Amino acid sequence: MNILITRPFIDAEDLMGKLFSLGHKIIHIPTLKISSAKTESFDINKYHAYIFTSANSIRNLNVPKQDKSKLCFCVGAITEKIARMSGYKNTISAGGTVNALKNLIISSNHINEKSNIAYFCGDNVSYDLDLELKREGMKVSKFINYTSEKISDLNEENKKIIFSHPPDIIFVYSTRSAISFIEIVKKYSLYPLMTGSKVMCISKKVADIFFMDNWKKVKVFDPGDELSQLER
């Protein structure tokens, strides 16, 4: 199969390797450029727990002398894996969605309304997790420690690949990435080549963007479930 991946390479490398080993052809078109953002000065050790909604929020947390034994709430298994690899010892994973993460935090026995929680995220979020938790009486401080910039260009190599071997499956991982990808498709008049492509979206919000743009073959998948989707 020809499989198009829209994630930045650092997030897609593991999946791309697995797909390649299974004999699939990979088209890598990253739709977002991730950059570290400078955060305001703060004392990280005053917080009882951390919230990570993506691997990027961990990779771009450049704070020295932090206590990595603090409880870390991670949005899903991949983010938790990155947290563990980064030295965090006390991690817990939700089901891969921010709503599931919110429910996990609310129901946790390890924190209460007096606990200070640090929430690390990017500059573009589709769900105001900090506000939702504050409505539940929790003390949450939000820190934007990375930015995402849309990529609007397609290199000649990928254009040739798509024109000769249109993707069978397209994996999309965020609303912003979906918008960026659709803009690329329109800019280079690629839609007629993708009418048979199945678009796999990480959430209903992402899928709705494609439905609103009249894409027909759109489906929601669970994070980390990419390989099993190839058999369906």
pLDDT tens for 68-122 read 999 999 998 889 999 999 999 999 999 888 889 999 999 999 998 889 999 999 9
3-state secondary structure (DSSP) of residue 118: strand
Tell the residue number behind the tokens 């479930």, with chain if given. 225
Angle at 161 between CA 224 and CA 201, to 5 degrees: 25
Contact 141, 116 (CB under 8 A): yes
pTM for the structure as a whole:
0.86
pLDDT of residue 232: 65
CATH number of 2-31+151-229: 3.40.50.10090
Burial class (CB in 10 A: 0-12, 13-18, 19+), 3: buried
* Six-digit token string for 155: 């290199």
Residues in contact with 181: Cβ distance below 8 Å, sequence separation at least 6, in sequence order: 6, 29, 31, 170, 172
Query: What are residue 121's DSSP bridge partners?
Result: 144
Count the Cβ atoms, other than its own, within 10 Å of residue 207: 21
* Gap between the Cα atoms of 123 and 206, Å rounded: 17
pLDDT of residue 70: 94
Which residue, among 223, 221, 153, 172, has the nearest Cα to 8 in the 3D structure? 172
Domain boundaries of the chain, sorted by first residue: 2-31+151-229, 35-148
Residues in contact with 61: Cβ distance below 8 Å, sequence separation at least 6, in sequence order: 120, 145
Domain 35-148 class? alpha beta
* Six-digit token string for 114: 């007096």
162-181 pLDDT tens trace: 999 999 999 999 999 999 99
2-31+151-229 and 35-148 in the same fold: yes
| pLDDT band with cut points at 50, 70 and 90 for residue 127 | confident
| pLDDT band with cut points at 50, 70 and 90 for residue 63 | confident
pLDDT of residue 95: 81
Fill in the DSSP letter of residue 91. Answer: E
pLDDT of residue 119: 96
* Six-digit token string for 40: 């305001």
Backbone Cα Rg of the chain? 19
